[in-house]
Amino acid sequence: MLSSREIKIQTLTPLWTGDAKGKSDRVQETGLLGSLRWWAMAWARSTADADGAIKAVEEFFGSLASKRQFRMVAVGVKQNNNFALRYEVQEREEDEISKWYFKGPPWQGLITLQVTGRGTISADIAAGRLAALLQLASRYGGIGAKGQAGCGLISVLPDSPVDTFSVLEAWLGQLTDQEVVGEDLPCHRKFFCREYEVEEQPEDYPDLIQPLVSDHKGRIFAFKYLLRGLLRPHGEEDDFMKLRHRICGAILEKAAGASLVNVSFPFQNNRKEIVRIWGWLPDQYPGNKQPKRQLLLKHIDKTAEGVFGKRTDKRDEWSPIQDIKSREK
């Protein structure tokens, strides 16, 4: 009988891993694996030997040419049927209330991941790599789908400890802050992560729209709405629409794509309610005018502090590369 190892994670915000029909009837392992592969590929693209690191990720997670080198099963998680992913916001100049919702409730609680190795990869090695990726995601972002709609923040419990950076560097190589191949795709050089304390109603609460201020889901909708508006000066109407869709996501047939900016539901940290906003910002965007990364981050700060409250982290950059540099000093 093959030995297995366990990794335990706790959801900080609801977790969504929908199936092909958009329903969340259980925690889908494929949804978790897709997220972990995404974090691994972002690390791989940020190394000096990106091609070799990407090949190592494909070997571990599987590809059309090879099987996955481990098996992972999620057990022991409960669905929160009292939490509906519904959003409503009233625009001041419109009579109708905009609504946005998903099929079924998300999942919350303790999740145990049982990991078994395959072939030359032992359970210890497989669980160590997965735990490192989960810790990376827990510190700088989230996992699962609907990250732009509040979901996906986790913590890895202390009984599943690994040295995140050491494991990932031994497996995929060290991160570099130099230009690398494929920077139009997620890579850690382009990551950002910020946190804000949720206030009852911030002093600079925007007057453009009146969301349901008692409901955090309404604030998430308001944040995305206002951020899109701040992007308007960056180009003519056609360029603005392309930029807005690239950064905030779109479901239009010709411009479909996921949001580059994710915003969480509030979670408890030192007896405070905190919202995390994270994602990645590439250098190149559609259109003629190319907004600078720091300007886009200022737009994000301005919008978030108006909708949620003051920023709590003091670092200019919060990313794996910056933390590694700090550790080496």
Q: Could you tell me if 276 and 234 lie in one domain?
A: yes
Which has more confidence, 55 or 95? Answer: 55
* pLDDT tens-digit map of 119-162: 899 999 999 999 999 999 999 999 988 888 888 999 999 876 78
Q: Could you tell me if 298 and 207 lie in one domain?
A: yes
Which has more confidence, 250 or 75? Answer: 75
- CATH label of the domain that carries residue 148: 3.30.70.1900
Q: Could you tell me if 17 and 161 lie in one domain?
A: yes
Order of strands across the sheet that contains 70-75: 70-75, 110-117, 4-11, 154-156
Q: Could you tell me if 39 and 153 lie in one domain?
A: yes
Model confidence, pTM: 0.86
Residue 178 lies inside a defined structural domain of this protein: no
Residue 263 lies inside a defined structural domain of this protein: yes
Q: Could you tell me if 198 and 243 lie in one domain?
A: yes
Tokens representing residue 94 in the block: 């419109």
Q: How far apart (Å, rounded) are the C-alpha atoms in residues 221 and 226? A: 9
Q: Could you tell me if 285 and 321 lie in one domain?
A: yes
Q: Could you tell me if 108 and 148 lie in one domain?
A: yes
Question: Hey, is 105 helix, strand or coil?
Answer: coil
Report in angstroms the alpha-carbon separations of 263 from 44, 61, 148: 24, 27, 5
Greatest mean pLDDT among 96-100, 158-162, 254-258, 276-280 lies in: 276-280
Q: Could you tell me if 160 and 282 lie in one domain?
A: no
Q: Could you tell me if 237 and 124 lie in one domain?
A: no
The mean per-residue pLDDT over the stretch 3-29 comes to 83
In sequence order, which residues have a C-beta less than 8 Å from that of residue 25 and are 6 or more positions away? 19, 104
pLDDT for 224 equals: 82
Helix axes 237-248, 216-230, angle to 10 degrees: 140
Mean residue pLDDT across the chain:
79
15 CB burial (10 A radius; 0-12, 13-18, 19+): buried
Residue 247 lies inside a defined structural domain of this protein: yes
Q: Domain span at residue 15?
A: 4-78+92-172
pLDDT for 106 equals: 76
Q: Could you tell me if 140 and 267 lie in one domain?
A: no
Tokens representing residue 267 in the block: 């979670």
Q: How far apart (Å, rounded) are the C-alpha atoms in residues 159 and 157? A: 6
Residue 244 lies inside a defined structural domain of this protein: yes
Residue 235 lies inside a defined structural domain of this protein: yes
Q: What percent of the chain has pLDDT over 70?
A: 71
Q: Could you tell me if 255 and 125 lie in one domain?
A: no
Residue 285 lies inside a defined structural domain of this protein: yes
User: For residue 37, which of 185, 178, 230 has the smallest C-alpha distance?
Assistant: 185
Residue listed under structure tokens 């978790």: 32
- Domain end among 109, 142, 172: 172
Rg (CA), the chain: 20
